[in-house]
Amino acid sequence: MGRFVVRRLAGMVAVLFAVSVLTFLIFNVIPSSDPAQRMAGKNATPRLVANITEEWGFDESLPQQYLTMMEKIFSGEVISYEGREDVDERILEGVGPTFSLCIGAAVLWMFFGILFGYLSATRAGGLLDRVLTIVAVAGISMPVFLIGEVLLVYLTYKTGILPSGGYVELAESPLEWGEHLVLPWVTLAIVYVGIYSRVLRSNMLDAMNEDYVRTARAKGLSERRVMSRHVMRNSLVPIVTLFGLDFGALLGGAIVVEAIFSLNGIGEYAYISLINTDLPPIMAITLFGAFFVVLFNALVDIAYAYLDPRVKLGESAR
C-alpha cells in the first residue's frame, strides 16, 4: 500500500506538470493574446502597455513566466488579468456549489443507474427492459443544455415550483440549498443514468453466462441471491471505473450545468475565464481539475483491489 501511494503521488506530480505546461503553452501561442494589451484597455498608450508588461513580467522568457505563475498559484497569490481578483480564493468559493452539485448528482445517477440496469438485465427482453432502454437512450441522446432549459421552463418559469437558479449555502438554509439544486442535480444525472444503466445491463447479461453463475444456481440459491451476489458484484467493476473517471472530471467543474443554473461554481468560473482568455484562473482550474481526475483514478484502483481479489495494488490485472 505504501509503495502504491508513493508511486501514485509521483505520477500525480508528473501529470499535473504536463497538464500545466500544455495549458500554458496553448495560451501563449494562440493569436491576439497579449494580456498586457487587453488589460490596458482599448485606447491605451504604448507606455501604459509597456508598464503593465513590465509589472506583470510579460517580457520575461516563457519558462520564467511559467515558474512565476506556478509559484503564485501554489502560494495563493495568483491574481487574474480580468478584474484582478484572487484566483485561488475565487476557486475555493466555487467549491461549495460545484461539489454540492456533483455529489448530489452522483448519488442520484449511481442509484438510478444501478437500479435501472439491474431491472433491465434481470428482465431482459421484457416490457420493463424495453421501456427502460428507450428512457436510457433518450437520456443519453438529449443534450444537457436542452434538458436543463426544458426543466427550467416547465418547473420554474411556467409553474414557479422551483427557484430559477443561483446557489444558497447549505449552512445558511438546508432547505433552500436543496431547492436550488434539485434541477441541476436531475439535469446532470440524466445522461449518466442512461449510460450507467446500459453498461451495467450488458455487463450483467455477460456475467449471467459465466460458469460460476450456473454453479450458484446448482447450489440451490434463490434467483434473487444469484443475481445480487454473484452477477451484480462482478458486473460493478466497470461501473466503478466509469464513476471514478466521470466524478473526478466533474469536480473540476460541471461547466454547462453550472452555467445554465448560474451556480457560480468552478465550472462557471472556468467558462467565464475562457471567454476572457484569462490565463491565471484557467491554469489554476486546470490544475485543480486534473488533481481530482488523478486522485479518483487512484481511488478506482484501490476499489478494484477490493472488488476483485485477483487484482493486487500496484500490479496490472492479468
Partner 1 sequence: MSGGAQALLSVRDLRVGFATEGGTVRAVDGVSFELAPGEVLAIVGESGSGKSVTAQTILGLTGSSNARIEGSVRLGETELLGAGEATLRGVRGDRVAMIFQDPMTSFNPVYRVGAQIVEAIRAHRGEVSKQEARQRAIELLDSVGIPDAGRRVDSYPHELSGGQRQRAMIAMALTLEPEVLIADEPTTALDVTVQAQILRLLGRLNRERGLATILITHDFGVVAEVADRVLVMHEGRIVERGSLDDVFYSPTDPYTRGLLDAIVRLDQAPPLRAARESENLLEVRDLVKHYPVRGGLLRRDSHSVRAVDGVGFDLRHGETLGLVGESGSGKSTLCRALLGLIEPTSGSVRFEGREIAGLSRRRMRPLRREMQMVFQDPYASLNPRRRAGQIVAEPLRLQGEARGGELRGRALELLGRVGLGPEHYDRFPHELSGGQRQRVGIARALALRPKLIVADEPVSALDVSIRAQILDLLAELQEDFGLTYLFVAHDIGVVRHVSDRIAVMHEGRIVEIGPADEVCERPRDAYTEELLAAVPVPDPRLARERHNVESE
Using CB under 8 A as the binding rule, the residues of this chain from 292 to 311 that contact partner 1 are 307-310
Q: Does 312 bind partner 1 (CB under 8 A)?
A: no
Least separation, in Å, of the C-beta of 208 and partner 1? 9
Using CB under 8 A as the binding rule, the residues of this chain from 213 to 232 that contact partner 1 are 214-223, 225, 229-230
Distance CA 166, CA 24 (A): 31
Q: Which is nearer to partner 1, 65 or 241 (CB)?
A: 241
Q: Does 272 bind partner 1 (CB under 8 A)?
A: no
Q: Which is nearer to partner 1, 130 or 229 (CB)?
A: 229
Q: Which is nearer to partner 1, 141 or 215 (CB)?
A: 215
Buried b (16+ CB within 10 A) or exposed e, 215-239: ebeeeeeeeeebbeebbbebbbbeb
> What stretches of 142-232 show up as alpha helix (H) in DSSP?
144-152, 174-208, 211-218, 223-225
Q: Which is nearer to partner 1, 64 or 222 (CB)?
A: 222
Least separation, in Å, of the C-beta of 245 and partner 1? 22
In Å, how far from its chain's centre is CA 90? 18
Least separation, in Å, of the C-beta of 203 and partner 1? 14
**What is the per-residue DSSP string for 5-44?**
HHHHHHHHHHHHHHHHHHHHHHHHHSSS--HHHHHH-TT-
Using CB under 8 A as the binding rule, the residues of this chain from 23 to 42 that contact partner 1 are none
The contacts of residue 281 (CB under 8 Å, 6+ apart) are: 80, 87, 90, 91, 269, 270, 273
Q: Which is nearer to partner 1, 141 or 228 (CB)?
A: 228
15 phi/psi in degrees, rounded to 5: -65, -45
Give the interface with partner 1 as residue ranges (CB under 8 A): 3, 6, 210-212, 214-223, 225, 229-230, 233-234, 307-310, 315
